[in-house]
C-alpha cells in the first residue's frame, strides 16, 4: 500500500469540519488497508508506532528534523528556520520547500513505518546522525505532501485529532457496516489497550472473535473504576443489602503481569512503570506461584520498623528520587492485592467478583509485604460502619464496597456501581500537639529488634481516673531515642495492663502510666480498637489519632494526670471540617 493513499486521507481529515466526513474518510481508509498492514496504519493515524503502553516514542527533536529538511531540500538551515517561523509548522515548511521535487509517489506504508521505527529505536553514540540520515532518505523519496506528514509524524505533531474512540467507531463501521457492535469492540479494546490488535481481530474474525477476546500477559487491561456514595444505607441498598467491604488503601494502583520469570507493571493510566518498582517485581515472583497471571494491587508504603501504613505522600516522595533501587531499600513497598483478572491462560474478567476473589486468595502466598486486601462481608449498616472505622484507624482511606451479585464481572475501562467507594467525608485535622501517656509497647522488628517498635499511648479520663488508649506511636524517634527507650521504660514494666489503663489492644509489654510524650497526628478519627470516648460518637468505636508522630519532646514536666484528656480529644474530633 502506498503511503500516498494514507496522506490523501489525512489531508481530507485535516481540511474537513464535519465529524461524519472524518469518519467516512477513516472508514474508507481502513477498508482499503490490507489486514497485515492494519496495526501499522492504526498506530500511524494516531501519530504513534506502537500501542501507548509500550512507551516507544518517535519524538524526534524539531531541530534535527529541520536539519533533515535542509539536507533533503539542499537549502541552508537558516532558510528553513525563517520559513518555519512564518508558517509555524515544520511539516508545512517541508511541503513548501520540497515543492520543486515533482515526483510520483512510490513510498510504501511499510517503508515509512520501518524508517520511523528505526528512528525511534536508534539510541546511544552517533544516534543523532543516524536518525537524521534515515529521515533524509525518506524525504528524498517523498512527494511534498508526504514530506509534510512524515515530518509531523517524526516530530510527534501529527495532530489529526483522531482519538481512540473515533478509531473504534470507524473500525466497527468498516467491518460491520454500522456502530451496533461497538460495545463488543470497545470491550475488546478495554481488555488489551491495543487498537492494532483489535483491528486485526475484528477484521479477521468479525465480532464473534471479539466476544471471546482474551486478556493476555503484558497487554494492560483498562482498569475498572468505582462510583462513590456517602451514605452506608444507600451503599447497601445499591448492592442488594449485602456486599464485600474491602479496605481502601491509599497508595498507587498497579496492574501486575507475570509470565514465567518475567514481570511487568502498569499504572492506572496503563503506562509501563516496571522500572519504578523493582521491589514489587520481587514480591510478585516470590509470592505468586503460578505460571502466568494478571492481578491488581495497591502499592503502599509501610514504616519498616513498625509496619504501620504510611501516608500516600511518602510513597510519592520515593518515586521522585532518582536512585530507585536505593529508595526501594529505604522505603520498600508492600503489595495489597485486590483483584485477579487472568490466571494461567484463563480469562477471569468474566467471572463474578466473589469467584475472582476466591482465586486471588488461593494464589497469593501471603507474606509480611504481600497480602490480599482486608475485607469482610457485611449485611447491615452497623456492620458496614464498624468495618469502616476499623479501616480508617488502620490508616486507610475508607472502604471499597463490592457487589457479590453473580453478574458482578470485571468491567474493564468503566466506572460503575459494582464497586462503590465509601471514603472519610469529614476530618478533624490536628493542628495542635497532644500529650499522651505511655501505657504499653510493641516489640520492634528489623532495625528496631531489641527495642520497641511502637508505644501504646493513652489520653486521661479524669472522671474515671483511667487512661484510655488512642494510638500507637512508632514514628518520629531518633536512633538515639529508640535505643534509650528500654532503659527509660523498663523500670515501669509490668506483666499485664495497669489497672488504671483501659485498652482493647494487646501490648507486648505494659507500663505503669507515668511517662508523657508529645505527639502530633494527621487527624482524630473513630476507631474500634481504641478506648478513648468509646461509644460516645458511635457504638463500638473510640477516638484515635491517625498517623501519629513523636515530636521529640518528652514531657517530663508533666504528670500523667496532666496529659491531654479524653474530653479534649472529643472536642478536637467535633471540630469537624469538610475534607
Ligand atoms: P479513586 O481513585 O478514589 O477513584 O478510588 C479507586 C481506587 O482505589 C482504585 O483505583 C485503587 O487504586 C484504590 N483501591 C485501594 N484499595 C482498593 C480495593 N480494596 N479495591 C479496589 N480499589 C482499591
The 3-state secondary structure of 516-540 reads: EEEEECCEEEEECCCCECCCCCECC
Catalytic residue among 248, 258, 402, 472: 248
Which one of 337, 338, 374 would you pick to mutate in the ligand 1 pocket, going by the greatest count of ligand atoms within 8 A of its CB? 338
248 among known catalytic residues: yes
| Mean pLDDT confidence for 516-525 | 90
Interacting residues of 213 by C-beta distance below 8 A, sequence separation 6+:
187, 188, 191, 192, 198, 201
Cα–Cα distance measured from residue 571 to residue 565, given in angstroms and rounded to the nearest whole number:
10
Topology match between the domains 3-154 and 434-578 = no
Q: Is 373 in the pocket of ligand 1 (CB under 6 A)?
A: yes
CB distance 410 to ligand 1 below 6 Å? no
Check whether 568 has a pLDDT greater than 90.
no
pLDDT at 552: 86
Tell if the pTM clears 0.85, that is, is over it. Answer: no
Q: Which helix (H) or strand (E) holds 128?
A: helix 127-139
Residue 558: pLDDT over 90: no
Task: For ligand 1, say whether the CB of 371 is within 6 Å of any of its atoms.
Answer: no
CA angle centred on 276, ends 270 and 281, rounded to 5°: 85
* Opening angle at CA 473, ends 469 and 479, nearest 5: 150
Q: Give 318-358 pLDDT, tens digit per residue.
A: 666 567 777 777 778 999 999 999 999 999 999 999 999 99
* Residue of the CA atom closest to atom 16 of ligand 1: 248
> Across residues 76-86, what is the average pLDDT?
94
User: In the chain, what's the furthest Cα-to-Cα distance?
Assistant: 98
**What atom of ligand 1 comes closest to residue 423's alpha carbon?**
3
User: pLDDT (tens digit, 9 = 90+) per residue, 417-466?
Assistant: 999 999 875 445 677 789 999 999 998 877 777 889 899 999 999 888 89
Closest residue to atom 12 of ligand 1, CA basis:
253
User: Domain coordinates of the chain in residue numbers?
Assistant: 3-154, 164-210, 225-426, 434-578
Nearest to 276 by CA among 318, 329, 330, 213: 318
User: Would you say the CB of residue 400 lies under 6 angstroms from ligand 1?
Assistant: yes
Contact call for residues 371 and 364 (beta carbons, < 8 A): yes
Separation of CA 381 and ligand 1 centre (Å): 21
Please identify, by atom number, the ligand 1 atom nearest to the C-alpha of residue 415.
Answer: 4
The total of other beta-carbon atoms located within 10 Å of residue 343's CB is 21
Q: Is the CB of 249 under 6 A from ligand 1?
A: yes
Picking from 399, 283, 295, the residue whose alpha carbon sits closest to that of residue 333 is: 283
∠ CA 86-100-6 to the nearest 5 degrees? 80
CATH 2.40.50.140 fits 434-578, yes or no: yes
For 3-154, which CATH superfamily applies? DNA ligase, ATP-dependent, N-terminal domain (1.10.3260.10)
CA dihedral of residues 494, 498, 504, 510 (deg, nearest 10): -20
Which own/partner pairs from 570-576 qualify as long-range (CB within 8 Å, at least 24 positions apart)? 570/532, 570/533, 570/536, 570/537, 570/543, 572/428, 572/430, 572/432, 572/524, 573/428, 573/524, 573/525, 573/526, 573/533, 573/537, 573/543, 574/428, 575/428, 576/426, 576/427, 576/428
Homologous superfamily of 225-426 in CATH? Answer: DNA ligase/mRNA capping enzyme (3.30.470.30)
Query: pLDDT tens-digit profile of 196-252?
Result: 999 999 988 887 877 777 899 999 999 999 988 888 999 999 999 999 999 999 889
Q: Is the CB of 248 under 6 A from ligand 1?
A: yes
Whether the Cβ atoms of residue 30 and residue 39 lie closer than 8 Å to each other: no
Amino acid at each position: 500500500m502506498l503511503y500516498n493513499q494514507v496522506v490523501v486521507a489525512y489531508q481530507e481529515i485535516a481540511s474537513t469540519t464535519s465529524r461524519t466526513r472524518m469518519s467516512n474518510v477513516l472508514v474508507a481508509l481502513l477498508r482499503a488497508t490490507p489486514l497485515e498492514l492494519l496495526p501499522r496504519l492504526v498506530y500511524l493515524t494516531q501519530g504513534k508506532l506502537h500501542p501507548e503502553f509500550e512507551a516507544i516514542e518517535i519524538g524526534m527533536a524539531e531541530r534535527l528534523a529541520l536539519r533533515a529538511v535542509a539536507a533533503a531540500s539542499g537549502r541552508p538551515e537558516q532558510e528553513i528556520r525563517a520559513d518555519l517561523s512564518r508558517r509555524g509548522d515544520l511539516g508545512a515548511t517541508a511541503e513548501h520547500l520540497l515543492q520543486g521535487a515533482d515526483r510520483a509517489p512510490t513510498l510504501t506504508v511499510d517503508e515509512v513505518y520501518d524508517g520511523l521505527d528505526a528512528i525511534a529505536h536508534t539510541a546511544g553514540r552517533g544516534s543523532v546522525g543516524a536518525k537524521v540520515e534515515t529521515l533524509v532518505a525518506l524525504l528524498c523519496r517523498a512527494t511534498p505532501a508526504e514530506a509534510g506528514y512524515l515530518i509531523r509524524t517524526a516530530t510527534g505533531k501529527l495532530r489529526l485529532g483522531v482519538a481512540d474512540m473515533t478509531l473504534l467507531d470507524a473500525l466497527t463501521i468498516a467491518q460491520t457496516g454500522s456502530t451496533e457492535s461497538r460495545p463488543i469492540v470497545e470491550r475488546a479494546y478495554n481488555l488489551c489497550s491495543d487498537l492494532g490488535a483489535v483491528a486485526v481481530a475484528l477484521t479477521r474474525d468479525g465480532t464473534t472473535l471479539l466476544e471471546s477476546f482474551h486478556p493476555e500477559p503484558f497487554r494492560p487491561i483498562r482498569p475498572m473504576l468505582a462510583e462513590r456514595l456517602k451514605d452506608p444505607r444507600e451503599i447497601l441498598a445499591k448492592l442488594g443489602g449485602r456486599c464485600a467491604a474491602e479496605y481502601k488503601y491509599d497508595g498507587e494502583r498497579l496492574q501486575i503481569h507475570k509470565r514465567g520469570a518475567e514481570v511487568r507493571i502498569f499504572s492506572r493510566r496503563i503506562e509501563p512503570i516496571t522500572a519504578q518498582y523493582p521491589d514489587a517485581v520481587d514480591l510478585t515472583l516470590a509470592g505468586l506461584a503460578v505460571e502466568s497471571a494478571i492481578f491488581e494491587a495497591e502499592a503502599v508504603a509501610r514504616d519498616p520498623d513498625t509496619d504501620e501504613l504510611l501516608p500516600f505522600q511518602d510513597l510519592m516522595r520515593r518515586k521522585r528520587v532518582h536512585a530507585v533501587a536505593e529508595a526501594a531499600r529505604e522505603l520498600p513497598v508492600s503489595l495489597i492485592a485486590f483483584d485477579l483478572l487472568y490466571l494461567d491462560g484463563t480469562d477471569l474478567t468474566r467471572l463474578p467478583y466473589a469467584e475472582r476473589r476466591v482465586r486471588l486468595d488461593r494464589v497469593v502466598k501471603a507474606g509480611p509485604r504481600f497480602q490480599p486486601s482486608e475485607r469482610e462481608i457485611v449485611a447491615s449498616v452497623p456492620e458496614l460502619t464498624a468495618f469502616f472505622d476499623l479501616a480508617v484507624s488502620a490508616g486507610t482511606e475508607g472502604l471499597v464496597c463490592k457487589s457479590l451479585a453473580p453478574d458482578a464481572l470485571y468491567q474493564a475501562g468503566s466506572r460503575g456501581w459494582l464497586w462503590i467507594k465509601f471514603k472519610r467525608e469529614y476530618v478533624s485535622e490536628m493542628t495542635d500537639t497532644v500529650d499522651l501517656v505511655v501505657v504499653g509497647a510493641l516489640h520492634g522488628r528489623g532495625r528496631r529488634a531489641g527495642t520497641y517498635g511502637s508505644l501504646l499511648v493513652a489520653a486521661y479520663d479524669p472522671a474515671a481516673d483511667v487512661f484510655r488508649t488512642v494510638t500507637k506511636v512508632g514514628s518520629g524517634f531518633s536512633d538515639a531515642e529508640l535505643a534509650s527507650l528500654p532503659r527509660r521504660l523498663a523500670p515501669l514494666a509490668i506483666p499485664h495492663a495497669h489497672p488504671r489503663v483501659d485498652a482493647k489492644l494487646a501490648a507486648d509489654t505494659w507500663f505503669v502510666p507515668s511517662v508523657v510524650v508529645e505527639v502530633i497526628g494527621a487527624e482524630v478519627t473513630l476507631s474500634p480498637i481504641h478506648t478513648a470516648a468509646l461509644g460516645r460518637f458511635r457504638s463500638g468505636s473510640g477516638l484515635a489519632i491517625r498517623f501519629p508522630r513523636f515530636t521529640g519532646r518528652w514531657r517530663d514536666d508533666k504528670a500523667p494526670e496532666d496529659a491531654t484528656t479524653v474530653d479534649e480529644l472529643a472536642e478536637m474530633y467535633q471540630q469537624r471540617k469538610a475534607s
